[in-house]
Amino acid sequence: MKNWNVRKAIVTREEMPEHHRLAQTLSWPHLVAMGVGAIIGVGILVLIGSGAARAGPAMILSFAIAGLICACAALAYAEMATMYPASGSAYTYSYVVYGELIAWIVGWSLILEYSLVVSTVAVGWSGYAAGFLDRNGLGLPLALVAGPELGGIINVPAIAIIVLVAGLLIYGMRESATVNALLVLLKLVALLLFVVVALPLFNGANFEPFMPNGFGKHWGIGPDGKPLEVGVMAAAAVMFFAFYGFDAIATTAEETKNPDRDLAIGIVGSMLICVIVYMAVAAAAIGAVAYTRFAPSQEPIAFILAEINQVWVAKFIGLAAVVAIPTVILAFLYGQSRIFFVMARDGLLPASLARVSKRGTPVRITLFTATVVSVIAGLFPIDEIAALANAGTLLAFIAVCAAMLTMRRREPNAPRKFTTPWPWVVGLFGIVGCIYLFLSLPQKTQIYFLIWNVIGLVIYVIYGGPRAERARALQNG
């Protein structure tokens, strides 16, 4: 660990070996669509009920708090991404500002986040797809739609959608981004349709009492009569899952035609769109049906539409979910493959994975990433452990906000293509808010996250650190 504080120097595209250069094919509309595609997924269809169970009508406030904290992180990401337009996102910024060990911890946490998100969404999509096929007389046997712990053998649909998305990413990033943009448009149309049919039935009395479980996290009783951590902040910690995803945009830096402009537009623009959409959907849901009625439901949006006799809209949204939710898989599988790629390029992972094809895509690392998440999605049920993804993301957000503030002190006059307004207010609020959300996570999640990082440190000491030192020695000749 003698090189734990070695800081990374950003290498320009022209200085990189040809086999390390990613193809520059993306512009800001692709990045906004990728951000919205990553952020809006299964979460909004399910977390409306989970948030209502914890905070009641004040889940709108929970959405706002989680969104505000993410917005602060998004501004910090935008400044760092345009200051250092290199792939790797929070991992790269941590390496440049703090050194190798902190970068490894952040990268290790991002691997956890992206792996669990891709696997969780793939399993969730499999459930939607299997149900859709079953309702249309094309049902698959349980053995092929669930892992061993749930009575099946292997979750074939979950593996199939990961393989399909991975194939699209290998074919080309521009083609993947175009397909993603079309599917994102379908998702937005579906959610807009829900708001349009629910708003005419708006009843202000459904918002009283507004904050039945108070503000801070504490133990209470859920809608099912079982103990549950409730309060506005408990709901915000859960709803945080529905907001992150914009950080995947930062991993596109080396594949963006005009990163100085497009990265900031993509990161901040996608966050603004999603905050507006989420709060509109939450307000329409509570206004149409009392939260105590839809909170226990596993499919709250579908439940609300059934209650207001809009069955055809429920079917359309269900179809849109099956068709469009893979955009989340695309964005996070893309992000994870780029994190792996840059860590391999830096020597912390096998260097053989850091090669691109003739089309400028990292085929080897994409196949490796798809294999890892396919095993998780195909064999394991992702339940409480999925909250680990939140913990990993919160650490990455803290690191980026801290890196932005550190660079403001270390290099105050360095050129910045995007400048965060009120940086010390935004940065400190982002850090404190993320710490508060982390403390609001279930205690079991916090323990699992600590164990994951202890394992990561052992791997760094035994493997990653020595390999990175040898890689630097070779580069320096």
What local confidence, expressed as pLDDT, does residue 426 receive?
A: 93
Measure the CA–CA gap between 345 and 87, rounded to whole angstroms: 11
What local confidence, expressed as pLDDT, does residue 105 receive?
A: 93
The letter for the amino acid at 28 is W
What local confidence, expressed as pLDDT, does residue 348 receive?
A: 85
CB 378 within 8 A of CB 154: yes
The letter for the amino acid at 316 is F
What local confidence, expressed as pLDDT, does residue 151 receive?
A: 67
What local confidence, expressed as pLDDT, does residue 75 receive?
A: 87
DSSP string over 372-428: HHHHHHHH---SGGGGHHHHHHHHHHHHHHHHHHHHHHH-TTS--SS--SSHHHHHH
What local confidence, expressed as pLDDT, does residue 104 receive?
A: 92
**Coil vs helix vs strand at 89:** coil
Top CATH class, 18-475? mainly alpha
The domain limits of the chain are: 18-475
pLDDT tens digit string along 44-54? 766 777 788 88
Which residues of the chain fall short of a pLDDT of 50? none
Measure the CA–CA gap between 354 and 365, rounded to whole angstroms: 7
Q: Say whether pTM exceeds 0.95.
A: no
What local confidence, expressed as pLDDT, does residue 406 receive?
A: 95
CA angle 330, 234, 284 (to 5 degrees): 70
**Coil vs helix vs strand at 26:** strand
Measure the CA–CA gap between 279 and 51, rounded to whole angstroms: 12
Which residue in the block uniquely carries the two structure tokens 């497009």? 262
What local confidence, expressed as pLDDT, does residue 169 receive?
A: 80
What local confidence, expressed as pLDDT, does residue 425 receive?
A: 94
